[in-house]
Amino acid sequence: MQPLEIGVVFWTGGELGVDASPAEIVQSVQSLGVKCGQLAVHGTAPLDPAPWKDAVDAAGIEVVTCFMGYEGESYASIPECARTVGYVPAATRQERGERALLVSDFAKGLGVPGIAAHIGCVPSDRSHPDYVGVRDLMRKICDRCGENGQTFALETGQEPAEELLEFLHDVGRDNLKINFDPANMILYGSGEPLDALEVVKDYVITVHCKDGTRPKAPGEWGAETPLGQGDVGMDRFIAKLKEIGYQGPLIIEREIVGDAQREDILGAVALLERLRG
Ligand code: MG
């Protein structure tokens, strides 16, 4: 894989998943003209690596990360996100954690060097039981990833970059990294993504190329847009990645389905090819 190789997030299972075989899904990725991607595995998706391994090998697609989503997660509003996403909800923390260990093993079977997830809206109070619970679970997941020769990447979301760094240091595992998504900060209305990238740059191993507009009122969501049409500033984002010496892939994430998704991704590939130089 070349530095700044263009790739896409593609789903199996869940609302963003396509009802098709691994071979068909991977062929549709290949038809976008990209050579790599992140396989997003919904909590309900079967975890048999064999058909995926055959499919990606046949298509020459390099899977750089297995991304995890979970049943019951909702991004309908910011409070819903805080209540349902990742490892923060105490009621599902253990079973989602167990699933993460299985996804790590699945990724190993596929020869994928890392897994990732949005771990949720971790409280900023370091003594909060949910903070402690998520921190301890992350240690356990990172240790399994370590045994499997993998990294674990935290998807960036609503949290200030300084808090994210503090959490990383608290977990204290060298294989804990960051999947930086500049659009999430815009969509949550939580700050300037490029300033945040500067703060966490030493930990970023993958990035999402996603775009969006800021919320109209505090506490609301912004709106995701096709790449280049939102408030991220893709030219500035790519320039910043070059400035910090980022060598990883540019993973396009477009969280809609159907023909519009395909069209937007093709547009994003063209835009990134131009900006990457
Ligand atoms: Mg993302």
- Whether residue 255 is predicted with pLDDT greater than 90 in this model: the reply is yes
CA of 277 to the centre of ligand 1 (A): 23
Q: How many H-runs (helices) and E-runs (strands) does the chain carry?
A: 10, 10
Residue type, 170: D
The length of the chain, given as a count of residues: 277
- Whether residue 159 is predicted with pLDDT greater than 90 in this model: the reply is no
CA of 53 to the centre of ligand 1 (A): 24
- Whether residue 190 is predicted with pLDDT greater than 90 in this model: the reply is no
| 107 vs 219, higher pLDDT | 107
CA of 208 to the centre of ligand 1 (A): 5
Cross-strand partners of 225: 211
CA of 139 to the centre of ligand 1 (A): 22
Look at residue 78 in the predicted model and tell me its pLDDT.
Answer: 84
What is the spatial distance between Cα 247 and Cα 269, in angstroms, rounded to a whole number? 18
Give the pLDDT band of residue 98 (cuts 50, 70, 90): very high
Cβ proximity of 120 and 85 under 8 Å: yes
Mean pLDDT of 222-247: 97
Mean pLDDT of 1-16: 94
CA of 231 to the centre of ligand 1 (A): 15
The environment of the single-atom ion ligand 1, i.e. residues with CB closer than 5 A, is 181, 208, 253
Q: Which of 269, 254, 250, 272 is nearest to 2 (CA)?
A: 250
Give the pLDDT band of residue 182 (cuts 50, 70, 90): very high
Lowest mean pLDDT: which of 153-167, 196-210, 262-276? Answer: 153-167
Mean pLDDT of 235-264: 97
Q: Percentage of residues in the chain with pLDDT exceeding 70?
A: 100
Q: Percentage of residues in the chain with pLDDT exceeding 90?
A: 90
CA of 115 to the centre of ligand 1 (A): 13
Look at residue 72 in the predicted model and tell me its pLDDT.
Answer: 96
Look at residue 265 in the predicted model and tell me its pLDDT.
Answer: 98
Look at residue 220 in the predicted model and tell me its pLDDT.
Answer: 86
Q: How many CB atoms lie within 10 A of CB 58?
A: 12
CB burial of residue 262 (10 Å; 0-12, 13-18, 19+): middle
CA of 155 to the centre of ligand 1 (A): 6
Mean pLDDT of 13-32: 93
CB burial of residue 194 (10 Å; 0-12, 13-18, 19+): middle
Q: How far is CA 265 from CA 66, 119, 255, 271, in A?
A: 19, 26, 10, 10
Give the pLDDT band of residue 110 (cuts 50, 70, 90): very high
Please state, rounded to an integer, the average pLDDT across all residues of the chain: 96
